Amino acid sequence: MKISQAFKLAIRSIRGSKMRSFLTMLGMIIGVGSVITLVGLMQGVTNYIISTFADLGTNMISVNVTNTDTRKVDVDEMYAFVKENRAILQGVTPQVSARYTVKNGSTSMTTSVTGVGEDYLMIRNLELSSGRFIRYADIKNRYPACVIGTYVTQELFEGKVSLGDTVKINGQVYEIVGIQKEKEDSKENSTDDCIYIPYTNAARLADSADIATYVVAAQDADDVEQAEKILDNYLYGIMKNEDLYFISSMTQLLDTIHSTTSMMSSILGGIAGISLLVAGIGIMNIMLVSVVERTKEIGIRKAIGAKKKDIMSQFVIEAALISCMGGTLGIIFGYLLTRILGNAFGIEAAPSTHSILMAFGISAAIGIGFGYMPANKAAKLNPIDALRSE
């Protein structure tokens, strides 16, 4: 029997019992749809996390140093090192962070005050709505200049602030020379809740003579690994002990996020895939019932010359067709559900080609695999016994 004839017989059988065929497919539809939806949503969450961290700069490298009495990293020497390696390194800024009480008249708040260098604006891709950023002259002369975020302007000035106004940081008067452009709706503990001052002033506020933290920017995200190597060589040459400094980058964090979310996607996909196994058992059960119902038909076909392989191909193709039709409907269902839930959760979730192909391939394999036993049972029927059945 030709394959085309087997397909025609399978389609005729499916049409002959539409409701039963649909209910058999339903398990496959739910299983395939669940796999596609869960993997798609997990990918959307991954993309959202990555985009959030990407805003912080994927080319950023953090350097933390434990200065000692005999070994320490000098700020000017760090600047000189970065300048010598401009092909790989874009810039550097010392960073001294702490939380202080900030006042404007009788109004006060506690916020993060960060001492930075003049390159910080460029390295972090920050924008100002007005004024200027910290300059080299401010750093060198320890001029009490500050740049504030929009959350600070709302809390201390009720949104009405002008360049040249002053605030008290830990009791010391600072002039507002710039206002950062709003980024996160002026929320507390967001990037809008900040004050930047010269790192020399911040070091004095912290009562620290040495800078322990630097932010280094590579020219590109692809240069981060090489940048880390030359920084490691440079710092080891000074400190002579790897325990006295620590280098970390956003790419390391992103790699960890990728591996974690990929593992979670596999786990969720595996859990959803259990429903595919259940659907396969349902297909096998229905096909076994179908063999019993069509025993006389099988006997007649064998009596007129149908071979064992013809009977097997008929039932295997029928099982595979039910499974593939259910898989196709499951793909459509999973695609729509992924889009709907993605919009509901506010993430850009879309089914991946890999998950679609994987789910469809598994559904087809399950149809063939679980259809084999009923088909084998049908093929082994004795034609005389089959013709006697009612």
* Cα end-to-end span (Å), the chain: 26
Cβ atoms of 342 and 41 closer than 8 Å = yes
Backbone phi, psi, residue 266, to 5°:
-65, -40
Instruction: Please report the pLDDT score of residue 24 as a whole number.
Output: 79
Cβ atoms of 51 and 346 closer than 8 Å = no
Residues of the chain with pLDDT under 50: none
Please give the structure tokens belonging to residue 314.
């008929």
Is this structure's pTM higher than 0.75?
no
pLDDT of 90-149, one tens digit each?
A: 899 999 998 899 998 888 999 889 999 999 988 888 889 999 999 999 999 999 999 999
Distant-in-sequence contacts of 385-388, Cβ < 8 A, 24+ apart: 385/299, 386/295, 386/296, 386/298, 386/299, 386/300, 386/302, 387/296, 387/299, 387/300, 387/303, 388/299
Distance (Å, rounded) from C-alpha 121 to C-alpha 18?
66
Instruction: Please report the pLDDT score of residue 383 as a whole number.
Output: 60
Instruction: Please report the pLDDT score of residue 144 as a whole number.
Output: 94
Instruction: Please report the pLDDT score of residue 7 as a whole number.
Output: 67
Note the Cα 119 to chain centre separation in Å.
30
Instruction: Please report the pLDDT score of residue 347 as a whole number.
Output: 81
Instruction: Please report the pLDDT score of residue 169 as a whole number.
Output: 92
Instruction: Please report the pLDDT score of residue 53 as a whole number.
Output: 64
Residue 128, strand partner residues: 180
216: left (phi over 0), alpha (psi -120 to 50) or beta: beta
Write the DSSP string, 169-190: ETTEEEEEEEEEPPSSTT-TTS
Cβ atoms of 94 and 206 closer than 8 Å = no
Distance (Å, rounded) from C-alpha 315 to C-alpha 367?
10
Please give the structure tokens belonging to residue 238.
């000074």
Distance (Å, rounded) from C-alpha 351 to C-alpha 45?
12
Please give the structure tokens belonging to residue 377.
């049972």
Instruction: With CA atoms as reference, report the closest residue to 239 among 60, 71, 51.
Output: 71
Distance (Å, rounded) from C-alpha 113 to C-alpha 320?
65
pLDDT of 270-294, one tens digit each?
A: 777 677 777 777 777 777 777 766 6
User: Angle of helix 308-345 relative to helix 295-303, nearest 10 degrees?
Assistant: 140
Instruction: With CA atoms as reference, report the closest residue to 300 among 173, 386, 204.
Output: 386
Instruction: Please report the pLDDT score of residue 138 as a whole number.
Output: 94
Please give the structure tokens belonging to residue 100.
């202080």
Instruction: Please report the pLDDT score of residue 136 as a whole number.
Output: 92
Write the DSSP string, 42-111: HHHHHHHHHHHHHTT-TTEEEEEE---SS----HHHHHHHHHHTTTTEEEEEEEEEEEEEEEETTEEEEE
Instruction: Please report the pLDDT score of residue 390 as a whole number.
Output: 52
Which amino acid, 197?
Answer: I
